[in-house]
Copies of this chain bind each other. A is one copy, B any other.
Amino acid sequence: MSNRKLNFSAGPAILPEEVLEEASHAILDLSQTGIGLLEHSHRGDSFGHIIESAVRGCRSIAKIPDNFHVLFLQGGATLQFAMVAANLLREEGVADYLETGSWSKKAVAEARIYGRIHISGSSSDSNFDRIPPQNSLRPSSNPDYVHYTSNNTIFGTQWKEEPPCPPNVPLVCDASSDIFSRKLNIEKYGLIYAGAQKNLGPAGVTLVIIRDDLISRVDRPLPKMLRYSTFAETNSLYNTPPVFGIFMMDRVFQWILREGGLDAIETRNNKKAQVIYDVIDESHFYQGTAQVDSRSVMNITFKTSTPELDKLFLFEAERNGFHNLKGHRSVGGMRASIYNAFPENGCKELAKFMQEFSAKRG
């Protein structure tokens, strides 16, 4: 694996090498059963142990209390955009949404299929370059829930802490791009969901952590696969689950625990981001595109002074082994996605390359 490139992809993204090695073997033969991971019945003991271990690993990482379920679904965050409202938004109710980028907007659009949505805060006026400040928020008096996107991959912004949420109102979070990147107090939440393909595993499996009282909150006619209760009542085994994704998630959970858990992961992630933000802040050559107090630790978005120079930067970066640094078209410039599995050393190497590039071209 020595010739692996430095991959700054925003997702699907880099995964821990040792987990990839485990998957590579398990596909041919799972734990010396003589049958490959993908070929075992999902009702058999071999997969049973995997999914139990995944739930246990998840609970252990985030110290999840007993009154929460850990579920594995399909359809990514996009299906959760609809499911959250379908399962939590009452006929005559309203839900508050904090609009901080493309993903929040999509979440709102899907939720509107099921009821009334109130945008209780937004940074759309400044092209989502910040998390809306607390004094700008306009919550409803008694929403069915408050929904926010903890990290915004495209705009490089991240909530430093949970947005305000009245007591007894469930806080719902799309944590797809920063789950388990830092300490997490699960008791503040009613529901957290995350597509796996940034910090948890491969695309094709979605983690849902949901408080028990929310599982069957609203009773509207819904397909089985759109009800949280279907998954809660069957330990995520109502139908054949995404076996490979759950296996990978289990191994990533074990990796997180071996690395020292969320405390250690958070410390390392902060250091990783800091070396790159330091180069941006110490130079007049680079500008961060997100407001300083809203900066993401997962996705670092920055520009040079011109689109032409950005292009040259990306070209030379690629040639020097730094891959997938191109920013999203709605922001332009560069984006370095440095999720949990991205190595600290890779961040230092990028910082050094950025300094050299600015010295040469600045």
Interface residues of A (CB under 8 A from B): 1, 3-5, 7, 9-15, 20-21, 23-25, 27-29, 33-36, 38-42, 44, 74-79, 81-83, 86, 110, 113, 195, 197, 201-205, 221-226, 238-245, 248, 323-324
A197 touches B240 (CB 8 A): yes
- CB contacts (< 8 Å) of A21 on chain B: these are 28
Q: CA–CA, A4 to B78, complex, Å?
A: 38
Q: CA–CA, A113 to B86, complex, Å?
A: 14
A20 touches B24 (CB 8 A): no
Contacts A9-B39, A23-B27, A40-B9 given; indicate if A113 touches B223 (C-beta within 8 A).
Answer: yes
- CB contacts (< 8 Å) of A24 on chain B: these are 24-25, 27-28
Picked from B1, B86, B204, the residue with its CB within 8 Å of the CB of A205 is B204
Q: CA–CA, A34 to B33, complex, Å?
A: 31
A78 touches B39 (CB 8 A): no
Least distance between A340 CB and chain B CB atoms (Å):
13
- CB contacts (< 8 Å) of A223 on chain B: these are 79, 81-83, 86, 110, 113, 226
- Which secondary structure dominates where chain A touches chain B? loop
Least distance between A114 CB and chain B CB atoms (Å):
9
Q: How many copies does the complex hold?
A: 2
Least distance between A49 CB and chain B CB atoms (Å):
15
- CB contacts (< 8 Å) of A15 on chain B: these are 36, 38-39
Least distance between A327 CB and chain B CB atoms (Å):
13
Q: CA–CA, A34 to B110, complex, Å?
A: 37
29 pairs, A vs B, C-beta closer than 8 Å:
A1-B29, A5-B33, A9-B35, A9-B39, A9-B44, A11-B41, A12-B40, A14-B39, A15-B39, A20-B36, A27-B27, A38-B248, A74-B242, A75-B79, A76-B225, A76-B239, A76-B240, A78-B224, A78-B239, A79-B223, A82-B226, A110-B223, A113-B223, A202-B244, A203-B244, A204-B205, A204-B242, A204-B244, A242-B242
B34 touches A12 (CB 8 A): no
A36's nearest neighbour on chain B, judged by CB, is B20
- CB contacts (< 8 Å) of A245 on chain B: these are 204, 242, 244
Least distance between A259 CB and chain B CB atoms (Å):
18
